[in-house]
Structure 1
Amino acid sequence: MSPNLKTSTSLIAVLALAGALGVAWWVQRPPATATTKSAAAAQPGVAGGAPARAAVVVETAPVRRQAVADDVEAVGSLRSRQGTVVRAEVAGRVVQIGFRDGQKVVRGQFLVQLDDRLQQAQLQQAQAELSIAQANHRRNTELVAQGFISQRGLDESAAAVKVAQAKAELARATAARLRVLAPFDGVAGLRNISVGDYLKDGADIVNLEDMNAMYVDFRLPERWQARVRPGQSARVQVEALPERAFAAVVQAVDPQIDANGRSLIVRGCIDNRRLQLRPGMFARVAARLGDDRAALMIPEQAVVSQGGRQSVYRLVKAEGPEGTPAWRGERVDVQTGVRLAGLVEIVQGLAEGERVVTAGQQRIQGDGALLRVADTSAAATPAAPAASSAAVAWAETLPGPSPCGAAPAR
């Protein structure tokens, strides 16, 4: 048998088998009843026996207008109002220490005495030379009046007095540099020296921090530079005291924008006379940039972000089957503003009182889809959170003038 004959025979067998299966299905299929035909005809939107698309069940919430504070959050670090490392100006051996670790000191308080015996001897020599020069000058003044010496001799003795005075002042200043004093009121840190140590010039002695007022330095995006100004209030929290909040006042704004992060550096001041805060702490800052204002707010889950586009599905009244009222979804692009806990501000795109879809957006197939609202309560939007949580207490305000100036309003 030739190959062509074998191929033709196989093809005829396959076609015969397919025909037999088709005839068997046609004979055994159930007949269409009148009830089925009438039900298909009664469905709205049926074309050629295809079922109509059912309404999508969604949850909604109203667009509400409520008071919102223009607060911007940032992170920063604390530093003391004044802080320095006390260092030795000249080399010398430590002979006396006048402070304890962690002690409060006042400006001008004695801290460390270096060996100054040589400098004191030089000072005494200079003072003796000054006494001799002054005595010679007084004697020459009398002799000039009597005509025994010329005016030149008097001038030379006057110059000798000035030279001796300068030598005495130099010796006194050199001896004073060996006595280290506190440059301002503060708290001494942990000392790095002991009696008998030989210190080179510039050697560290102890760090000194003025912590009555603390600075908090934080960064804000450059878009806020027109709205940040000195005198505004801020709320500061630290990890060490999570249940406390501290009031801060914006002291200054750096005139230069950081080119690396395009951020604005802001410095606030905190009254820390109770010494609860320490330099180097990590801080969370909520800066208030203005008074409370009325804003349109919706739940943040209502906003759909896709390809840089932010939109919501707005409910539009429509006519359902047999003239019954219904809802249809309309996708609207929106512009958002500040975000709170669970809420987002709508700057453009919606009006007060409209309702938006908060759940079920993924099942909506384009604009105009028929919707069925699952929630009928008008109170579906959570309330705006307060400026400060009830679980967080403000730090106690001390009497008397604040080291930062006027205290901000809370």
Structure 2
Amino acid sequence: MNKVMLVGLLAVCAAGPLVAQNGGAQPTAVEAHTVTRLSLGDEVSAVGTLRSAESVILRPETPGRIAKIGFVEGRPVKRGEALISLDAAVQSAEQQQARASLALARANFQRTEDLFNKRFVSQRALDEARAGLRVAEAADQVAAARLARMTVRAPFDGIVGIRQVSIGDYVKEGADLVNIEAIDTLKVDFRLPERLIASLRVGQKVTLWADALADAQFTATVAAIDPLVDAEGRAVRLRATLDNRAGRLRPGMFARVRLSLGEVREALVVPEQALVPTAAGQFVYRVVEGKAVQTPVKVGQRQGTSVEITEGLSEGAEVVTAGQIKLRDGAPVKVVAPVAPAAAR
């Protein structure tokens, strides 16, 4: 290499750093959000299951053959309405026999009482006639009870489900016949950590959502708090009730609940996408004079897509909500408008 070429190469190398220093790094395009205040209440979320106000599976108390089905599946029924009747020919005959014996015992007692008043019979005869009458009355009551058990009636107003039997089926005592549900009022059972027990009380309002009705919101009221804390999960069970006369909700549905524990307060909030989680905690990037400033924060409760910031930010601060993956502390940034989602084709 001659002397002229060596001098030229050294000149190029010397000029390189000067170009980089003069040009500077290009700012990273990011989306940002201004920290604002929002009215928040102390709330806690949980999941639960909807249950009927009253629910029972009807079962016969005595075996027999089904003679009549007196309901339409899925339709409302009234308390005391006869739903299923078993063949009661034998029980009906037993009741007629008991009534005949009762009539005879009553007549015998009246005759014996008249004779006793005329002093034609002894006190013993009168006592025996009275005892015979009481035995006949008890036998009549037993026969009536056996006959009544051959008819299964609705224990409360509700809606009957899908029956498990047909006319002519022979069923044993305790066999499942049909379920009946009272759903004008529903219950929702859910659990909360035991650390919240001092803040729980009957009458608190619960906001409820069902996944099957994503856009609908319902209000329930805490009706009972289980006095027993689950020793394994360290949780307390609560039951809330809600009006369901519109019939939109059904027992067994999965529900998401939110319970308000305190009064509404003003809090600083940021979109949840502004948070960057790390092993040491969470932080956000603030935009300060065109640069990204990494700022540790402490978070509180969440409400929808907003997160409460309890420490680290002040109202009016501008935080990065998109583009954090390309940033480092002190990197130059340029705030741009959010990108609208592409229209579906």
Using the size of structure 2 for normalisation, the TM-score is 0.80
1:113 aligns with 2:85: yes
- For residues 33 and 73 of structure 2, the distance between their equivalents in structure 1, rounded to whole angstroms, comes to 61
1:364 corresponding residue in structure 2: 328
2:6 corresponding residue in structure 1: 28
1:390 corresponding residue in structure 2: none
1:176 corresponding residue in structure 2: 148
Question: Any conservation in 2 of the 1:122–1:171 contact (CA below 8 Å)?
Answer: yes
Question: Is the partner of 1:347 in helix, strand or coil?
Answer: strand
- Cα drift, residue 181 of structure 1: 1.1
Question: Any conservation in 1 of the 2:28–2:326 contact (CA below 8 Å)?
Answer: no
- For residues 342 and 114 of structure 1, the distance between their equivalents in structure 2, rounded to whole angstroms, comes to 59
Question: Any conservation in 1 of the 2:80–2:156 contact (CA below 8 Å)?
Answer: yes
- For residues 131 and 161 of structure 2, the distance between their equivalents in structure 1, rounded to whole angstroms, comes to 48
- Name the aligned partner's letter for residue 247 of structure 1: T
1:334 aligns with 2:297: yes
- Cα drift, residue 184 of structure 1: 0.8
1:148 corresponding residue in structure 2: 120
2:341 corresponding residue in structure 1: none
Instruction: Identify which of 309, 316, 321 aligns with 1:346.
Output: 309
Instruction: Identify which of 37, 55, 62 aligns with 1:90.
Output: 62
Alpha-carbon spacing, 1:223–1:29, altered in 2? closer, same or farther (3 Å): farther
- Cα drift, residue 208 of structure 1: 0.9
1:374 corresponding residue in structure 2: 334
- Cα drift, residue 84 of structure 1: 1.0
1:56-205 residue pairs with structure 2 within 5 A? 61-205=33-177
Question: Any conservation in 2 of the 1:144–1:151 contact (CA below 8 Å)?
Answer: yes
- For residues 242 and 67 of structure 1, the distance between their equivalents in structure 2, rounded to whole angstroms, comes to 24
Using the size of structure 1 for normalisation, the TM-score is 0.68
- For residues 267 and 105 of structure 2, the distance between their equivalents in structure 1, rounded to whole angstroms, comes to 84
Question: Any conservation in 1 of the 2:63–2:173 contact (CA below 8 Å)?
Answer: yes
Alpha-carbon spacing, 1:25–1:126, altered in 2? closer, same or farther (3 Å): farther
Question: Is the partner of 1:113 in helix, strand or coil?
Answer: strand
Give CA deviations for 1:112-171 in whole Å, capped at 9, x if unaligned. 221212112222222222222222222222233232333222222222221111111111
1:288 corresponding residue in structure 2: 260
- For residues 361 and 116 of structure 1, the distance between their equivalents in structure 2, rounded to whole angstroms, comes to 79
- For residues 272 and 354 of structure 1, the distance between their equivalents in structure 2, rounded to whole angstroms, comes to 45
Unaligned runs of 5+ residues in structure 2 are 339-345
Question: Is the partner of 1:135 in helix, strand or coil?
Answer: helix
Alpha-carbon spacing, 1:376–1:205, altered in 2? closer, same or farther (3 Å): closer
Give CA deviations for 1:217-270 in whole Å, capped at 9, x if unaligned. 233344443334332333333344334333323322333333444444332223
- For residues 270 and 247 of structure 2, the distance between their equivalents in structure 1, rounded to whole angstroms, comes to 42
Unaligned runs of 5+ residues in structure 1 are 1-22, 44-50, 317-325, 381-410
Question: Any conservation in 2 of the 1:84–1:207 contact (CA below 8 Å)?
Answer: yes
2:249 corresponding residue in structure 1: 277
Question: Any conservation in 1 of the 2:85–2:152 contact (CA below 8 Å)?
Answer: yes
The alignment-based identity, stated in percent, is 42
- Cα drift, residue 86 of structure 1: 0.9
Q: Point out the structure with the larger strand share.
A: 2
Greater relative contact order (Cα < 8 A, sep 6+): 2
Question: Is the partner of 2:239 in helix, strand or coil?
Answer: strand
1:46 corresponding residue in structure 2: none
Question: Is the partner of 1:90 in helix, strand or coil?
Answer: coil
Question: Is the partner of 2:198 in helix, strand or coil?
Answer: coil
- For residues 4 and 123 of structure 2, the distance between their equivalents in structure 1, rounded to whole angstroms, comes to 148
Give CA deviations for 1:347-381 in whole Å, capped at 9, x if unaligned. 2344434455555586435xxx5x6453499xx9x
- Cα drift, residue 315 of structure 1: 6.9
Higher Cα Rg, which structure: 1
1:386-397 residue pairs with structure 2 within 5 A? none
- Cα drift, residue 29 of structure 1: 4.1
Alpha-carbon spacing, 1:57–1:102, altered in 2? closer, same or farther (3 Å): closer
